[in-house]
């Protein structure tokens, strides 16, 4: 569906993306995972035919993006990170406008958006600028889908969205996938990587790793331990300076630790001798966030 070869883009002296190559398969949910400044938006804008790379080739549906941008826009639905609909048009006017732009009607493709649009349809006369964040998002997604695109590009759709609503949004994406749509989506939330078929972990314009979430986790290649005690923050500070420990990161109520040397029993003894109580330690499966942090320091 998407094929990128050696894409580069520079703004002034800042290299936004460097030598980016990957493919998105038909009917796949492909995630660009990384913090702000990783280059996610630049890649998406190139794929969406909105930005010309300095070098490299981007293809969508087998067509080179620059030469075929007009033809490709029929096949691409794009939801930018910033709300970009017309605030003084109503919900209904916005979706009808986008349908008309692409030479179709809301009725014709209603089946594609019905799950999402029906949630905001009761308020269809309300101006888009007066909607809550969640309603804006549902409208933007409906407008990006109304011309029945083959590829849906979503730039950080869940940023600033609470944990419950984020889960619901991913449910909607899974349903769209079942309808045959390929999805390129970006997110700074590492836990959302697990919901993609494949991910590219990105940092400062570069791809750190591309694979299925399971394979990313499998490549961690070290035993990871979760340590808990009655004073987790103080224990984290202590472990950071312990000779036994290599990488030490706070993870909610646990500290995730990999070992430099020795066995895990040494660490337990050390902690107990230092006065930490209720020390518990167990080997765990790493998360994508563990892997991301490991790749960052390498």
Partner 1 sequence: MERFQDIDKADSTVIWVKNMTKKFGKFVANDNLTFSVEKGEIFGFLGANGAGKTTAIRILCGLLSPTSGEAYVAGYDVYKQSEKIKQSIGYMSQKFSLYDDLNMMENIRFFGGIYGLDKKTIEQRTNELIEKFGMQDMQKKLIKDIPLGWKQKIAFSIAVLHKPKVVFLDEPTGGVDPITRRQFWDLINETAEMGITVFVTTHYMDEAEYCNRVSIMSEGKIIELGKPKDLKEKHQVNSIDELFFKVARNVNY
Residues that bind partner 1 (CB under 8 A): 14, 34-37, 132-135, 159-168, 188-190, 203-204, 232-233, 249-253, 289, 292-293, 296-297
Cα 6 to Cα 19, 66, 92, 247, 264: the distances in Å are: 4, 15, 41, 33, 43
- In the complex with partner 1, the residue whose CB is nearer, 34 or 149, is 34
Nearer to partner 1, 87 or 180 (CB): 87
Q: Smallest gap, in angstroms, from Cβ of residue 161 to partner 1?
A: 6
Residue nearer to partner 1 on the CB measure, 9 or 166: 166
Nearer to partner 1, 146 or 288 (CB): 288
Which tokens go with 128? Answer: 């888009």
CB of 37 to partner 1, least distance (A): 6
Distance CA 208, CA 243 (A): 28
Quote the CA–CA distance of 134 and 215 in Å, as a whole number: 33
Nearest to partner 1 of 178, 233 (CB atom): 233
> To the nearest whole angstrom, how small is the minimum distance from the Cβ of residue 159 to partner 1?
6
Q: Cβ(50)–Cβ(58) under 8 Å?
A: no
- Residue 283 burial (C-beta neighbours within 10 Å; 0-12, 13-18, 19+): exposed
Q: At its nearest, how many Å lie between partner 1 and the CB of residue 104?
A: 29
Query: Do 23 and 4 meet the contact criterion of CB atoms below 8 Å apart?
Result: yes
- State the minimum distance, in angstroms, from the CB of residue 204 to partner 1: 8
User: Do the bridges between strand 76-79 and strand 151-154 make them parallel or antiparallel, or are there none, so unpaired?
Assistant: parallel
Whichever of 47 and 202 has its CB closer to partner 1, that residue is 202
State the minimum distance, in angstroms, from the CB of residue 249 to partner 1: 6
Distance CA(23)–CA(121), nearest Å, equals: 36
From 154, 176, 147, 151, select the one nearest 62 (Cα to Cα).
151
């Amino acid at each position: 569906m998407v094929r990128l070869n050696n894409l580069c883009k520079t703004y002034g002296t800042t290299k936004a993306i460097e030598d980016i190559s990957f493919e998105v398969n038909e009917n796949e949910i492909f995630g660009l995972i990384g913090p702000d400044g990783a280059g996610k938006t630049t890649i998406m804008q190139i794929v969406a035919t909105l930005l010309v790379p300095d070098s490299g080739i981007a293809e969508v549906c087998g067509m080179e993006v620059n030469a075929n941008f007009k033809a490709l826009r029929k096949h691409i639905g794009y939801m930018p990170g910033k709300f970009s609909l017309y605030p003084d048009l109503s919900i209904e006017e916005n979706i009808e406008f986008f349908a008309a732009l692409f030479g179709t009607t809301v009725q014709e493709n209603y089946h594609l958006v019905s799950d999402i649009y029906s949630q905001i349809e009761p308020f269809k006369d309300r101006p888009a600028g007066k909607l809550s964040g969640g309603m804006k998002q549902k409208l933007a997604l409906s407008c990006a889908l109304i011309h029945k695109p083959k590829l849906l590009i979503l730039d950080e759709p869940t940023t600033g969205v609470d944990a419950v609503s984020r889960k619901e949004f991913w449910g909607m994406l899974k349903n769209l996938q079942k309808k045959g749509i390929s999805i390129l989506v970006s997110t700074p939330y590492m836990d959302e990587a697990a919901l993609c078929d494949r991910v590219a972990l990105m940092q400062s314009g570069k791809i750190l790793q591309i694979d299925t979430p399971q394979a990313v986790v499998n490549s961690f290649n070290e035993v990871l331990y979760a340590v808990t005690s009655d004073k987790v923050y103080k224990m984290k500070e202590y472990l950071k300076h312990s000779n036994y420990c290599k990488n030490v990161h706070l993870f909610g109520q646990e500290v995730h630790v990999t070992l430099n040397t020795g066995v895990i029993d040494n660490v337990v003894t050390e902690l107990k001798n230092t006065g930490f109580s209720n020390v518990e330690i167990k080997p765990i499966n790493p998360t994508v966030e563990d892997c991301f942090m490991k790749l960052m320091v390498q």
